[in-house]
Amino acid sequence: MKTSIFPSIIALAAAMTACGHTEKAATVHISNASGEKVYFQPTGEQGYRDINAADTLISISDFPAYYTLVGKDYQFFPVFISEGSQTEISVDADGKVTVSGTNEAENKFMADHAYLCRTPESIAQYSAEWTAYQQKEIASLDSLIDASGLDKDFAALQKLNNRFVYLNQCLNGVNLTKLFKPGGEKVSDIALPEDFYDFLDSTEFSDPLTIYVPNWFSVVNNALETKEKLGKLTVDNDSYMTIYANQIADPKLRSHYIVSLLELTLKRGYLPDIAKQLPAVKPMVTDPAAIARLAEVEKAYEEKMADPATVKAGSPMPIYPFRDVNGKEYGFPDLKGQYVLVDFWYTGCAPCRAEMPYFDKIAHEFDGKGIKFVSLSVDTGDELYAAWEKMMREKPADPAVLDVNLPEGFKSPLLSELGIHGVPRLMLLDPEGNIVEANAKRPSDPKLRQQITALTTK
């Protein structure tokens, strides 16, 4: 049995003084003499915030915080910001970056001792040796942090941050490996040691400092969803938000997790989940800052529901033809009398292809049980359509899945009416051809299987 590094996270909070929103702002002065764009933004944030001026002053009001300066040739420089601090960042004509100021020692430590979750090439990724090597690296960094004499608040947060880098690699890294395989070969599960995910059994999210760690919500939510998929959490499509929230012991962290989960649910388009589960989780949001965030989420949800363009449950599925690889034409009316799960996808979409093995598996599981599975490609143009056609002709005949292509693809009036601007996108229809879920969960999510089971066994 592997030794977990995560129980020690619980003790880190005791070393940290109270922190959060404050009126004592920090300032960051960036002087850029390189003549090239540099970027400065919270670590983990998507996209890039340009710093175009040669001399820029930035005020920051949420602490503690990790930021990243992206310099010449996209080199990344971590920057730690504390309450009321002053930070000077200089980019010289050659692109060399110097960070000084209040947190100079902390920033130098991060630059000199960055934990990137790397291993020697001789160690197979995600093997038992890989895990042992990472645990040794984190323990070594803990010792360096303890011996550094640096600010105790920074020390506690940096230890937590290193553990989240590792946890992120164990979860998101494995998923990305499945998505982007060298050479573009068929996506399949990678070989992992049988006990690889055992660390989830002892991983607890009990530290309020977690909300200051870059990508914290993505990591925590991925951990909980992975536990659910592995059978370590109860699967309940009607109350999973409460189940997830109850895995988080600290009230402040739980509050912000719930709001972030609601934000993600809204982004994913799982609108019925918000209507159904918000009353149960809303009383669990007790932190003042999270309560303010929750009000914004509720407002956004109400606006989304009031928008005429939002596809509602009970709406009839628009009728447009689609064709199989041999040119035979089908339409949604042909499928009435049974539930229908439609998967919109295209060959160049890595997340789409990662879901295909799960889609095929669930289709076989429910074959002949009152639901039809339709794999609806939106590949258009000579190159993309040829790729889809080749894939279909090489694929073994499978009566459980109807593989078809939608003429005009993303320019189809069907996608326009359904408000589909990206894939993968799954929709669930009832036997009358009406929409049950405009944004159904993905086939890899056990909650979809539970929902289909409930519908087909009525």
Judge whether 426 and 439 are in contact, CB under 8 Å: yes
Q: Sorting pLDDT into bands at 50, 70 and 90, what band is 417? A: very high
The kind and range of the H/E element at 353 are helix 350-365
- pLDDT at res. 105: 97
Dist. CA 411–CA 381, nearest whole Å: 11
pLDDT of res. 1: 44
Instruction: Compute the CA torsion angle 257, 259, 265, 267 (nearest 10 deg).
Output: -110
What DSSP line would sit under 144-166, residue for residue?
HHHHHT--HHHHHHHHHHHHHHH
- Cβ atoms of 385 and 327 closer than 8 Å: no
Number of other CB atoms surrounding residue 124 within 10 Å:
12
Q: How far apart are the first and last CA of the chain?
A: 43
What are the tokens at 323? 């064709």
Measured between alpha carbons, how far is 361 from 358 in angstroms, rounded to an integer?
5
Query: Looking at residue 268, what is its pLDDT?
Result: 95
| Range list of β-strands (E), 11-111 | 21-32, 38-42, 50-51, 55-62, 65-70, 76-81, 86-91, 97-101
**ω into residue 424 within 30 of 0, thus cis?**
yes
Dihedral pair phi/psi, residue 319, rounded to 5°? -105, 110
Q: Is residue 241 over pLDDT 70?
A: yes
Whole-model pTM: value is 0.91
Write out pLDDT tens, residues 309-327: 999 999 999 999 999 999 9
Average pLDDT, the chain: 91
Distance CA 79, CA 305 (A): 41
Kindly tell me the burial class for residue 421, based on how many C-beta atoms sit within 10 Å of its own C-beta (0-12, 13-18, 19 or more).
exposed
- What domains appear along the chain, each with residue ranges and CATH number? 1-233 (no CATH), 322-456 (3.40.30.10)
228, 197 in Cβ contact below 8 A?
no
Residues 94-130 have pLDDT tens digits of: 999 999 999 999 999 999 999 999 999 999 999 999 9
CA distance 286 to 402: 48
